[in-house]
């Protein structure tokens, strides 16, 4: 049985700080916003939904206690729609989409809403959920885990990506995102966010700028040198990779993903539910995959995840029109392009998280919506979405336009 994408919505990405436009909204309200956005756009009755699946990285405090089911109730979808949460670090929402597709493909559900919620301005990364990566010294010594920024710098060092290389990629991401926003490329997916009094808080992505250049990025100080040098992680990396005599710390705030708030939702169903709702499918999910690699370098698993996904779909790189590789750091995407032998004009065609921001638990759903929109705008056929995650994992999804 096939899993079709009937619609995909997202909130604008808000700046993930106390000064951000969405900071005064609760994660519950954001989750309900995208659910109601789907309902109002699709003219469907929520009682056909078998499950709501949300991703969230820091599922504690206001983001805890099964936010998916809570958002269903907050959205006024009644008592009969269940929900559950998934967590795979930054890939959580993409895993939610893949889990929903698997339920539909296996005949265990007819209609799923999948996406995610994250408010970094309220629950900062690594503050809430803890876990062995934060608290267990013996575990970290055993797996030689490093902070993601140091891992990104390690990739740049091993691959020979210079500061100019990563900054040039970042500048292009900013330019593409600004042009995409200016041309209205994001408008179909966006659901404005209102406060409880009905006042509009945000209608467009808040982090996008038009003044980022290679020269302006060159003035920024490297962000992860102190973690590497003073906290000893450079020594850990050199022990794990003895061929490296020093780490080139090239990443900073301008070529790393922006901290953001946001929510996403994708309507997935079989052909039968489409007929029942009177909706035409926009795309279908062809294949999904996950993979893992060394947690010390951490961010290289998108390559094996993408290859596994392509193999399952019996496709090659040449069969994919656009690739969406989450811009956790510039070196992650540069590494992917090099090892998959891809030109930049097929990758992150409307910019990425460096320019738009990365509401970690929601981003995967946003990227699925982005590629569906872009396939339609470009009259193209297939896209591949892939995201690196903590502890050296990655998640991938291939989408085909209907």
The percent of residues above 70 in pLDDT, for the chain, comes to 99
Instruction: pLDDT band for 310, please (50, 70, 90 cuts).
Output: very high
Q: Are 68 and 135 in contact (CB under 8 A)?
A: no
**Selection from 390, 314, 380 nearest residue 134 by Cα:** 390
User: Cα(57)–Cα(119) distance, rounded to whole angstroms?
Assistant: 10
> Tokens 């100080």 identify what position?
221
Phi/psi class of residue 120: alpha, beta or left (left: φ > 0; alpha: ψ in -120 to 50)?
alpha
- Give the per-residue pLDDT at 44: 78
Torsion of CA 320, 184, 121, 175, to 10 degrees: 70
**Selection from 224, 243, 181, 185 nearest residue 331 by Cα:** 224
User: Cα(374)–Cα(95) distance, rounded to whole angstroms?
Assistant: 21
Model confidence over 349-371: pLDDT tens digits?
Answer: 999 999 999 999 999 999 999 99
- Give the per-residue pLDDT at 7: 97
- Give the per-residue pLDDT at 127: 66
Q: Choose between 29 and 128: higher pLDDT.
A: 29
Angle (nearest 5°) at CA 322 between 316 and 325? 95
Least confident of 54-63, 139-148, 206-215, 361-370: 139-148
Residue 126 reports pLDDT greater than 80? no
The percent of residues above 90 in pLDDT, for the chain, comes to 94
Range 145-163 average pLDDT = 97
Instruction: pLDDT band for 45, please (50, 70, 90 cuts).
Output: confident
User: Cα(341)–Cα(323) distance, rounded to whole angstroms?
Assistant: 12
- Give the per-residue pLDDT at 260: 98
What number of H helices and E strands is found in the chain?
15, 12
- Give the per-residue pLDDT at 262: 98
Range 360-385 average pLDDT = 98
Residue 36 reports pLDDT greater than 70? yes
Residue 171 reports pLDDT greater than 90? yes
Least confident of 61-65, 262-266, 378-382: 61-65
Range 26-45 average pLDDT = 93
Residue 128 reports pLDDT greater than 80? no
Q: Choose between 210 and 44: higher pLDDT.
A: 210
Q: Choose between 135 and 334: higher pLDDT.
A: 334
Instruction: pLDDT band for 82, please (50, 70, 90 cuts).
Output: very high
- Give the residues across from 267 on adjacent strands: 7, 113
- Residue 401 belongs to what H/E stretch? strand 393-401
Catalytic residues: 90, 358, 388
Range 228-236 average pLDDT = 93
Range 200-204 average pLDDT = 98
Tell me the average pLDDT of the chain: 96
């Amino acid at each position: 049985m096939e899993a079709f994408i009937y619609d995909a919505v997202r909130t604008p990405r808000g700046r993930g700080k106390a000064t951000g436009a969405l900071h005064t909204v609760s994660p519950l309200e954001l989750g309900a916003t995208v659910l109601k956005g789907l309902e109002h756009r699709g003219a469907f009755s929520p009682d056909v939904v078998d499950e709501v699946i949300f991703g969230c990285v820091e599922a504690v405090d206001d983001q805890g206690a099964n936010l998916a089911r809570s958002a269903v109730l907050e959205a006024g979808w009644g008592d009969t729609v269940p929900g559950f949460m998934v967590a795979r670090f930054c890939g959580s929402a993409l895993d939610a989409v893949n889990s929903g597709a698997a339920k539909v493909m296996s005949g265990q559900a007819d209609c799923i809403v999948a996406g995610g919620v994250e408010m970094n301005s309220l629950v900062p990364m690594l503050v809430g959920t803890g876990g062995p990566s934060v608290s267990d010294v013996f575990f970290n010594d055993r797996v030689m885990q490093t902070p993601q920024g140091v891992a990104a710098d390690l990739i740049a060092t091993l691959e020979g990506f210079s500061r100019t290389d990563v900054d040039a990629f970042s500048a292009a991401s900013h330019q593409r995102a600004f042009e995409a926003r200016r041309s209205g490329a994001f408008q179909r997916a966006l659901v404005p966010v209102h406060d409880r009094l009905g006042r509009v808080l945000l209608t467009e992505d808040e982090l996008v700028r038009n003044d980022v250049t290679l020269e302006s990025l060159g003035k920024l100080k490297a962000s992860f040198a102190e973690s590497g040098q003073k906290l000893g992680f450079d020594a850990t990396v050199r022990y794990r990779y003895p061929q490296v005599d020093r780490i080139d710390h090239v990443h900073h705030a301008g070529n790393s993903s922006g901290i953001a708030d946001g929510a996403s939702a994708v309507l997935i169903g079989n052909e039968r539910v489409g007929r029942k709702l009177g909706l035409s499918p926009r795309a279908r999910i062809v294949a999904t995959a996950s993979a893992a690699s060394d947690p010390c370098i951490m961010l290289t698993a998108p390559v094996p995840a993408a290859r596994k996904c392509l193999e399952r779909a019996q496709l090659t790189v040449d069969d994919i029109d656009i690739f969406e590789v989450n811009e956790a750091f510039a070196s992650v995407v540069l590494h992917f392009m090099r090892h998959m032998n891809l030109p930049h004009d097929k990758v992150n065609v409307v910019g990425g998280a460096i320019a738009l921001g990365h509401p970690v638990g929601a981003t995967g759903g946003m990227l699925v919506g982005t590629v569906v929109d872009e396939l339609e705008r470009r009259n193209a056929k297939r896209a591949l979405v892939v995201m690196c995650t903590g502890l050296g994992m990655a998640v991938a999804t291939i989408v085909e336009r209907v």
